A and B are shown apart, each in its own frame.
Chain A
Amino acid sequence: MTAATHESGAVTPAAPARPLPAAAPRKVRGRQERSPWASVVLHCTLILATVIAAFPVVWILFISLGPKNAWQEPGQVLSHLSLHNYSDVLAHSDLAKWFLNTVIVAGGTTALGVFLASTAGYAVSRMKFPGSRQLMWTFLVTQMFPSIVLIVPLYLLMSELHLLDNYLGLILAYATTAVPFCAWMMKGYFDTIPKEIDEAGRVDGLTPIGTFWRLIVPLAKPGLAVTAFYSFLTAWGEVAYATQFMQSDHYTLAVGIRTFAQDQRPDWAWTSATAIIITIPAAIVFMLVQRSLVSGLTAGGTKS
């Protein structure tokens, strides 16, 4: 048995077959231990993958630090490192305005998304009320909608309600994409908070909504944070709705950057600097919540 374990341990990640180590006292190598060769192969593969994953992002950062025509002559960048593109684009374009627009829209989406998702998630988690199944099912199907099914009717609806080219209109549109997923995630989170807490609150004379607001919401802060960040990121990176709904004064970053990265003559100096400015807040937010995001995403799918 020892021999068998040893053998299979040595070959684990497609490593070249390897002579038995001289270490005479036959140490049993568990599955998690590797031969040095296997380690080398493993690390080389992962380093290669890391390079591929990171390269485009690093490259655009690299180009953004160079002179105006750096994208045509990348070799010039290292000898002319500067933040000139950043100061240039901040001073001579509407970037600051777009940034503000995006912050307003993303902030509004976050507030609305958290409110809608947490109330709905709580109700579904605590009560098996008539209609709860249908509601969750609707959320699930909504995630399946291609934005194109809704974009034209929404566009016409918004124009009737005078919500085109309006922060509120875009916030509402984003809420419809963010809320279904967030409600699933919040339901999962509320499920982990013991029901006894609600019961104790009721016994002490709190109304159901008081229980939710005073007892459960403070306990659910981590879940709410993930919901908030997800809503925020949805709004931060959306292109299709923003392109159609907003006019130049209300451009968000995702639309604004396209005025630099036009189809014909893209201005890569400004585009790359803008791209980095847009990425930093999003990446920070993302890294803070990514672990919970994934469990939420897959839980939403498997629990249905």
Chain B
Amino acid sequence: MTTAASTGTTNKTARGDGPSPRPARVSALRRSWDKYWYAWAMVAPVAVVITVLVLYPLGYGFYQSLTNANESNVATTIGAFHRPATYDFVGLDNYWHVLSGADGDFYPRLVWTVVWTVSCVVLQVGLGMALAVLLNREMRLRGFYRAMLILPWAVPSFIGVFAWRLMLNSQYGVFNEIITAFGLPAQNWLGTPLAQKVAVIMVNVWIGIPFNMVALLGGLQSIPKELYEAAEMDGASPWQRFVNVTLPGLKPVSNTVILLGCIWTFNMFNVIYLLLGNNTTGDTDILVTFAFHKAFNGISDYAGAATYGIIILALLLAFSTFYRRNTLKSEQA
């Protein structure tokens, strides 16, 4: 505070001799400091943490993506021996290598990531919405249903994944027994690529439904009852009421839920990494798990992983900007 106050004074003496409007501006600056210094003091800790642990690593990651850093050429200290970094700056080579498709992995992984995200979000939001509509009425045992239906969210996600891994075991898993009891063929769920893909989507949907359900239920309850009554008076069928009253009324909530769902699913690391472990050909890796393997399996390719990270972030930023702009437009319309 003192520093800024004194700077203010120097500025005043430097500039403000003449009858110019300057002093007013300087004192305004000073007043704003007097007014806001404690707000700044209060956000200082979080600003420091975010700068050091998010913005700096982000910048560092971006820098790395412009180099050819890997495990064999970054700086390391083993005991008393210190080896300086020997990697070089390579400009946009990594991006070119990835985006031109030359590495052979990016586009297949991207396509699967998009398929995975879209199918998970559609199923999660759709089923979550259906359950929310069912729960949004007076009935017996409502509290019980609600508590049970959010169970998959209450359990830490990695535990949920392990439970499914146990159930999906091809030889002894109970899941195969259940589906054969319904006349469906047993599958090697964690073995073949296609079955693996179905399995990870299924598990992720199971984990994701409760959040969607609860959020949408909150949205349903905030829709004024009068709207339904008015629609009924006009002779709208239940389906028409759903489409013309419920869906528009849910927009603010459902837009947020869909956006969050897309971001979370796109970045969903736990399900794929833990359900399949290393028993995969790589076909089920989404961009995030692929980059993780790149960074930490074999000879760590830090530059490659950083490049993927930055590309993922850019994709998400572009998507959410685009999405927000579109939903804002449709909300205003």
Number of residue pairs spanning A and B whose beta carbons lie under 8 angstroms apart? 283
Q: Which residue of B lies closest to A141 (CB)?
A: B317
A179 to B151, CA, bound (A): 25
Q: Which residue of A lies closest to B279 (CB)?
A: A263
Q: Which residues of A contact B118 (CB under 8 A)?
A: none
Q: Which residues of B contact A32 (CB under 8 A)?
A: 137-138
A279 touching B312, Cβ below 8 Å: no
Contact with B295, one of A12, A151, A212 (Cβ below 8 angstroms) = A151
Contact code string B203-234 (vs A, CB < 8 Å = 1, else 0):
00010011100110011000000001000110
Q: Which residues of A contact B40 (CB under 8 A)?
A: 123, 129, 131
- Within the complex, what minimum Cβ distance (angstroms) separates B78 from chain A? 12
B49 touching A175, Cβ below 8 Å: yes
> Which of A60, A142, A143 has the most chain B CB atoms closer than 10 A to its own CB?
A60
Q: Which residues of A contact B35 (CB under 8 A)?
A: 127, 129
Q: A50-B148, A56-B206, A154-B53 are in contact. Are A287 and B154 (CB under 8 A)?
A: yes
> Which one of A16-24, A88-96, A217-225, A291-299 is at the interface?
A291-299
Please classify how large the interface on chain B is, using the bins under 10, 10 to 19, 20 to 34, 35 or more. 35 or more
Q: Does A208 contact B (CB under 8 A)?
A: yes
Q: Does B50 contact A (CB under 8 A)?
A: yes
Give chain B interface residues in 25-57, CB to chain A under 8 Å: 32, 35-36, 38-43, 45-47, 49-50, 53-57
Q: Does A192 contact B (CB under 8 A)?
A: no
Q: Which residues of A contact B210 (CB under 8 A)?
A: 53
Q: Does A120 contact B (CB under 8 A)?
A: yes
Dominant SS at the A interface?
helix
> Which one of B5-13, B101-109, B263-271 is at the interface?
B263-271
Contact with A179, one of B46, B133, B219 (Cβ below 8 angstroms) = B46
Q: Does B123 contact A (CB under 8 A)?
A: no
Q: Does B200 contact A (CB under 8 A)?
A: no
Q: Which residues of B contact A59 (CB under 8 A)?
A: 163, 166-167, 174
Q: Which residues of B contact A244 (CB under 8 A)?
A: 296
Q: Does A193 contact B (CB under 8 A)?
A: no
A135 touching B43, Cβ below 8 Å: yes
Contact with B288, one of A1, A146, A283 (Cβ below 8 angstroms) = A146
Contact with A278, one of B46, B145, B159 (Cβ below 8 angstroms) = B159
A143 to B309, CA, bound (A): 14
Q: Which residues of B contact A129 (CB under 8 A)?
A: 35-36, 39-40
Q: Does A203 contact B (CB under 8 A)?
A: no
B61 touching A257, Cβ below 8 Å: no
A46 to B56, CA, bound (A): 48
A-B contact pairs, 17 of them (CB 8 A): A46-B131, A54-B148, A54-B151, A56-B152, A59-B166, A117-B46, A119-B46, A120-B42, A129-B39, A135-B46, A145-B58, A146-B312, A148-B309, A152-B309, A176-B49, A179-B49, A254-B158
